[in-house]
Structure 1
Amino acid sequence: MKHLGTVTLETPRLILRKYTLEDSESMFRNWANDDEVSRFLTWPTHKSVQDSREIISMWINEYNNEKSYMWCIELKEVHEPIGGISVVHLSEEISSAEIGYSIGKAYWHQGITSEALSAIMDFLFNQVGVNRIEAKHDSNNPNSGKVMMSCGLKYEGTRLMADRNNSGICDVVLYGLIARDYTPTI
């Protein structure tokens, strides 16, 4: 793999970029403070803008590492962050990246997350040179799986009672794709 870190990517509706401390209020307001958004995620709902500021500050420090891939999803139309997408696990051994994402409820069911994921997949396969991209979701959150499938990830199985998130212990649905089978969706 040729690590490039979090570079700015652009799609028709989005700018995928590094977070800045100025994004703290938008992050808190648009998605991180919403229990419904974080219901199936592993990080706790933010209780204050300071919570968002602290996590963004930590991420900013991680941008010095070229193996760090954490994008703020900025919707061009509103000129502010509406979600995030990142490589949550990177394996050098098998050249794979696991992707995780969250987006504000006001932006659900508009194809925005699929647009972001497609851009990230294209970047990781074609510029970083990963061989495998994978993602997973709680079986009670099938809409997340629809995003994965719309971007070409293939269902690989369900692990029963295999993870814990804000809803408790859950079944995990796994999706993956290897480079030789990748066809861009954007």
Structure 2
Amino acid sequence: MDNKNTPTLETERLILRKFTKDDIEALFEIYKDEEVNTYLPWFPLKSLKEAENFFYERYAKAYELDKGYRYAICLKTDNKPIGYVNVSIDNNHDLGYGLRKEFWHKGIVTEASNAVLEQVKKDGFLYVTATHDVKNPRSGGVMKQLGMSYKYSYEEQWQPKDILVTFRMYQLNFDGQVDRVYKEYWDNYEVHFIEDNI
């Protein structure tokens, strides 16, 4: 039975599809790079075996659900994953993305994310959120390019790296309700504030 979990999408340059077990090496290339994974909660992968476990835990299990959005970003030229874009089906509808650094600065993440946002909007999501470490303002630039707007900042002891991170939370409301703000991070973390001039 066909479900609504990560339907394949196409853009001008990209195919967005599910990761498969044939993509373990490509997945390893994405998740092993320390620079790419600096601002992510997990540690860089160290081996193909770790990549295989990561695939089954993070992707294969998610694909068994009725609905989901965990995409491999592939160039149309070879359909091999060079990055990922995900939207959580939890209440935060958190948008996350990553890309091998040799493909940075080409607008690929923005192109891929726009296509996924169109899909979740079509599927009835009212909003998406995204967060970035204040030390990684380039990620915030992507969020702004996607039409997201800054709402607030908060401090979190991030796991499993166990580091204190100040996050900025952005949100995009699809239905024009500009006053809707996802408040769970604000409510859950004692240190929270609104920065000026973001």
Count of aligned residue pairs for this structure pair: 173
Give the TM-score of the pair, scaled to structure 2.
0.81
- Per-residue CA deviation, residues 52-107 of structure 1 (Å, 9 max, x unaligned), is 1112123223212123221111112343110111123522xxxx511111111111
* Moved segments of 4+, more than 4 Å: none
Identify the residue that residue 195 of structure 2 maps to in structure 1: none
Q: 1:101 aligns with which of 97, 121, 130?
A: 97
Name the Cα RMSD after superposition.
1.9
* Residues 163 and 75 (structure 1), Cα distance of their counterparts in 2 relative to 1, 3 Å cut: farther
Q: State, as a whole percentage, how many aligned pairs show the same letter.
A: 32
Identify the residue that residue 109 of structure 2 maps to in structure 1: 113
Alignment partners' CA distance in 2, 1:78 and 1:169: 39
Identify the residue that residue 162 of structure 1 maps to in structure 2: 156
Greater relative CO (CA pairs within 8 A, separation 6+): 1
Extract unaligned runs of 5+ from structure 2. 178-198
* Residues 151 and 112 (structure 1), Cα distance of their counterparts in 2 relative to 1, 3 Å cut: same
Alignment partners' CA distance in 2, 1:121 and 1:148: 12
Extract unaligned runs of 5+ from structure 1. none
1:167 deviation in Å? 8.5
* Structure whose CA Rg is larger: 2
1:43 deviation in Å? 1.5
Identify the residue that residue 52 of structure 2 maps to in structure 1: 53
Identify the residue that residue 190 of structure 2 maps to in structure 1: none
Deviates more, 1:140-149 or 1:78-87: 78-87
Alignment partners' CA distance in 2, 1:26 and 1:131: 33
Alignment partners' CA distance in 1, 2:64 and 2:152: 35
- The alignment partner of 1:37 has SS state of coil
- Per-residue CA deviation, residues 150-176 of structure 1 (Å, 9 max, x unaligned), is 0111111221x2242658211101100
